[in-house]
Chain A
């Protein structure tokens, strides 16, 4: 049984958006819940700051203060996700980062990411972001096709994406990512290629290409009081039902294959199932998840992991604020839940997460269960292939294997 370890990464969830996109199932407050007195945005930011302190206190107690070379190393990455954190007043971003630096420590070459939307009212001031310490901006571009953006319910245009990237570059942001969606209703293979080409023309450093996924958190039973997701609004539910009818497995597979070929030809590295980068621009923060390193997390709906226990906050913001900013008395941990990972589950998680990466897993892992039981099947089905990295035999997913990875993963859980 492994022991709890101090985090190498920190995630902050800042849940406000201008409008809620119908396919989104992040913890998001939008519209009237994100603006005006009812939104209590300032309270939420203050609560997040408070939670940062509270979690840091606990880490201090378990591992001591952060210290280079000590049992608790400073963070190697910080990620402000959402929602649309670029909407957060820069003073608050600065304050939160100050708490992070003070209480968690941040290595000098840390990756500090901010999620942003490209629209003019949403993308914020990249120079200010740079000034307060962000090194990387990830834009929710989704598409560079005007019509698709409309159909996805997005408010920005392809030109906004270009302007946002240019602004980030001008401000000296060292690493820029674009999120793009495929398997979008009405999106032909050619349209996808056009979006990809247009994205490449903006010269980003990193691309996250996601199949539009229309899950139903309500059906999964994760939207209750302690749940880490919010109920799906009825409008979004209807939108998804319609959109699902226009999704197409074959088209999606072709789109994925096309992206893989096109980006490889441009010298990009598809280092994870849905992530490509120019060499050296892999997301250090996200790699921590796939490499199953410990991470701390704050904000409504956020998940943390210490190597043994996975802990999450409930998604609802008012109880979150109430716990952390009580009218009187001391701040308490916000509502949420936790799950202790058994050694067997840890093993299967480790394999599944690592197989998402292009470097795959050491071939030796296949000597033991659960991979041992599925290796032959996966190889003969063309999902898994052997390779060598630095003299070490490894196993990784083929292109078909990435597309059909759940078929293998479901055998490993």
Chain B
């Protein structure tokens, strides 16, 4: 299901060829000009007065064109060398390019000579659109006074459009609404303007029309930023207060923190202090994102930039901490961020047990660049030593896993995602939270299990209302309300257990609406539920990684399915193996894997000896990679395959 959760709607033809980039590439005079302009800009760096700074985020529903619009803004402001321009240039992570979506917010400093003849410093933050990354959006918005709200003119308002606008409004940001993709024949400009007006109360005069693809209307967007977004406040002479909104680790420069400077001025060789961790260091380098790191001599109140701290311990510099300087430190740290609320939990284990310390190091480093996942050591009978991790959603889980694998060269195995349950124990023994099904107390000790619920918003063409209602009901959901966005489209709201949403709900939603519906959800508290833990036993031994918590009505089918799948994946061994599903000590499903009867090399002559030896070595290696549950050897792949089948 993961793939489905990431790809956009099926009807969209995503182009990544970068026509604009090529157009510029061809004319060599453009290099020159861009070069000169950049040099001039560099000279002016830091000297742009504060009233000519503009800090804004670009927000939108997934795929509505934020990153493409950023491309045009970078181009028009000559921020990027024409030779380096590609499409979606800010989606620089391999994963982002492969999946065609933004995962991490990216800040860029632009310098724009406006129609009034003055040069403005613009700090742009391109944000991700997927629901899992709304935490990135909220953090980005905190560094801004304005937000460009991009709405795809062919799609109109979608679930994340609403969610992101509300977030921006809550922070009192100036919103610049932009209808994008007006180059497409299917653009429904009038309908969508109508929608913006009726649903979000955005006056039609404020709406700008643009095509991020061909550049139409982009200059107007730049002018609107200059005209409408207020400059940042803050006193460059005050003690330094900088909020860390992101960071990464550099082998030479140590921890590099990304800051939005609220007060004061940061200069090279300043002694900085991180107010939360207490760590102090001499500032090695500071600069702007253009979008690569370009050193400058100072950052001033209102600026967004980076600071190389030289700190080697990633724990010393956490996102949300405040940077100040000595000897005149700030009196109080900035409020920081609400920690990200992790909703989905899973165990992550190294495929090779000996890699555990490497994985821990990788987790810490990645955490620096993605503070929104949590990790804690845990161990599993089936999988060995690993971490219980919390994620913002399933896509986030997949991305963290993939980044660990790629950026840190780890081979990993993840257990089935779970939500966090609250368990009320009998005899007033209190309440425990359980984010790992195998840690669920025994049924006899449980008074009540509570599970998290969410409020789900779905935007869909109205002809799918019936099938969406049915989907929500199948998932134990209840209908809250319906609102017409325009004559053809509705906003449906439901309440559902989160556990039902994180399975394959998104896939189902997409397939039932031919890709047209979008969804967003927010927490809606805990409720008591009739849940049970289903254990899977192999030869009588519970396989902790495969325990699941399900509604009692579904325990039997889920148990049967798990047992059946596992049966097909455990290779025959020297003896018969029973595979069972059980609730407590009650077996609810059983199958068995017959004993192996034949594993023999039929031919072994002169030419075969080396070859067969290699085959045997492979078998041996395969065995060494197996996990042992009691006396049964289970290939890692079997767990993986069962664990990957989310739709149990």
Q: Shortest beta-carbon distance, B607 to chain A, in Å?
A: 4
Over the window 249-266 of chain A, the binary record of Cβ atoms lying under 8 Å from chain B Cβ atoms (1 yes, 0 no) is: 110110010000000000
Q: Which residues 581-635 of B sit at the A interface, judged by CB distance below 8 A?
A: 594, 596-607, 609-611, 613-617, 619-620, 623
- Cα of A204 to Cα of B598 in the assembled complex, Å: 27
Q: CB-CB < 8 A to B610: which residues of A? A: 303, 310, 312, 339
Q: A290 near B620 (CB under 8 angstroms)?
A: no
Q: B603 near A410 (CB under 8 angstroms)?
A: no
Q: B606 near A273 (CB under 8 angstroms)?
A: no
Q: Which residues 332-371 of A sit at the B interface, judged by CB distance below 8 A?
A: 339, 345, 349, 352-353, 356
Tell me if A205 counts as interface (CB < 8 A to partner B): no
Q: CB-CB < 8 A to B614: which residues of A? A: 220
Tell me if B300 counts as interface (CB < 8 A to partner A): no
Q: A289 near B604 (CB under 8 angstroms)?
A: yes
Q: CB-CB < 8 A to B598: which residues of A? A: 211, 249, 252-253, 256, 403-404
Tell me if B533 counts as interface (CB < 8 A to partner A): no
Q: CB-CB < 8 A to B604: which residues of A? A: 273, 289-290, 353, 356
Tell me if A103 counts as interface (CB < 8 A to partner B): no
Count chain B residues whose beta carbon lies closer than 8 angstroms to a beta carbon of A. 26
Closest residue of A by beta carbon distance from B575:
A381
The 8 Å CB contact of B615, one of A220, A256, A402, is A220
Q: B602 near A250 (CB under 8 angstroms)?
A: no
Tell me if B574 counts as interface (CB < 8 A to partner A): yes
Tell me if A409 counts as interface (CB < 8 A to partner B): yes
Tell me if A142 counts as interface (CB < 8 A to partner B): no
Q: A406 near B601 (CB under 8 angstroms)?
A: yes
The 8 Å CB contact of A407, one of B599, B603, B615, is B599
Do A411 and B620 form a contact, CB below 8 Å, given A220-B615, A404-B596?
A: yes
Q: CB-CB < 8 A to A228: which residues of B? A: 607, 611
Of A349, A403, A413, chain B has the most CB atoms within 10 Å of the CB of A413
- Cα of A228 to Cα of B611 in the assembled complex, Å: 10
Q: A295 near B597 (CB under 8 angstroms)?
A: no
The 8 Å CB contact of B609, one of A353, A407, A410, is A353
Over the window 283-294 of chain A, the binary record of Cβ atoms lying under 8 Å from chain B Cβ atoms (1 yes, 0 no) is: 000100110000
**DSSP majority for the B interface?**
loop
Q: CB-CB < 8 A to A210: which residues of B? A: 602-603
Do A297 and B606 form a contact, CB below 8 Å, given A410-B616, A410-B623, A411-B620?
A: yes
Q: CB-CB < 8 A to B213: which residues of A? A: none
Q: CB-CB < 8 A to B367: which residues of A? A: none
Q: Which residues 263-277 of B sit at the A interface, judged by CB distance below 8 A?
A: none
Q: CB-CB < 8 A to B605: which residues of A? A: 286, 289
Closest residue of A by beta carbon distance from B574:
A381
Q: Shortest beta-carbon distance, B618 to chain A, in Å?
A: 9
Q: CB-CB < 8 A to B615: which residues of A? A: 220
Q: Shortest beta-carbon distance, B573 to chain A, in Å?
A: 9
Q: A289 near B606 (CB under 8 angstroms)?
A: yes
- Cα of A220 to Cα of B597 in the assembled complex, Å: 24
Q: Shortest beta-carbon distance, B608 to chain A, in Å?
A: 8
Q: B606 near A274 (CB under 8 angstroms)?
A: no
- Tally the A-B contacts, defined by beta carbons under 8 Å: 100
Tell me if A49 counts as interface (CB < 8 A to partner B): no
Tell me if B181 counts as interface (CB < 8 A to partner A): no
Tell me if A161 counts as interface (CB < 8 A to partner B): no
Tell me if B572 counts as interface (CB < 8 A to partner A): yes
Of A210, A220, A353, A406, chain B has the most CB atoms within 10 Å of the CB of A406
Do A213 and B603 form a contact, CB below 8 Å, given A220-B615, A406-B619, A409-B616?
A: yes
Q: Shortest beta-carbon distance, A183 to chain B, in Å?
A: 8
- Cα of A273 to Cα of B604 in the assembled complex, Å: 9
The 8 Å CB contact of A404, one of B574, B594, B607, B620, is B574
Q: B611 near A220 (CB under 8 angstroms)?
A: yes
Q: CB-CB < 8 A to B611: which residues of A? A: 220, 222, 228
Q: CB-CB < 8 A to B607: which residues of A? A: 228, 297, 301-303, 312
Do A403 and B600 form a contact, CB below 8 Å, given A410-B619, A410-B623, A411-B620?
A: yes
Q: A403 near B606 (CB under 8 angstroms)?
A: no
Q: B600 near A405 (CB under 8 angstroms)?
A: yes
Q: CB-CB < 8 A to B620: which residues of A? A: 410-411, 413
Q: B609 near A310 (CB under 8 angstroms)?
A: yes
Q: CB-CB < 8 A to B599: which residues of A? A: 403-407
Q: Which residues 372-413 of A sit at the B interface, judged by CB distance below 8 A?
A: 381, 402-407, 409-413
Do A413 and B613 form a contact, CB below 8 Å, given A213-B602, A303-B606, A405-B599?
A: yes
Over the window 194-212 of chain A, the binary record of Cβ atoms lying under 8 Å from chain B Cβ atoms (1 yes, 0 no) is: 0000000000000000110
- Cα of A120 to Cα of B220 in the assembled complex, Å: 88
Q: B609 near A349 (CB under 8 angstroms)?
A: yes
Q: Shortest beta-carbon distance, B634 to chain A, in Å?
A: 16
- Cα of A303 to Cα of B613 in the assembled complex, Å: 14
Q: Which 5 residue pairs spanning A and B have beta carbons closest together? A: A253-B597, A303-B607, A410-B619, A406-B599, A210-B602
12 contacts between A and B (CB under 8 A): A210-B602, A253-B597, A256-B598, A289-B605, A289-B606, A289-B609, A297-B606, A310-B609, A403-B600, A404-B599, A406-B600, A409-B616
Known: A303-B609, A345-B613, A406-B619. 6 other contacts (CB 8 A): A11-B606, A213-B602, A303-B606, A310-B609, A404-B600, A411-B620
Chain A interface (Cβ < 8 Å from any Cβ of B) = 11, 210-211, 213, 220, 222, 228, 249-250, 252-253, 256, 273-274, 286, 289-290, 295, 297, 301-305, 310, 312, 339, 345, 349, 352-353, 356, 381, 402-407, 409-413
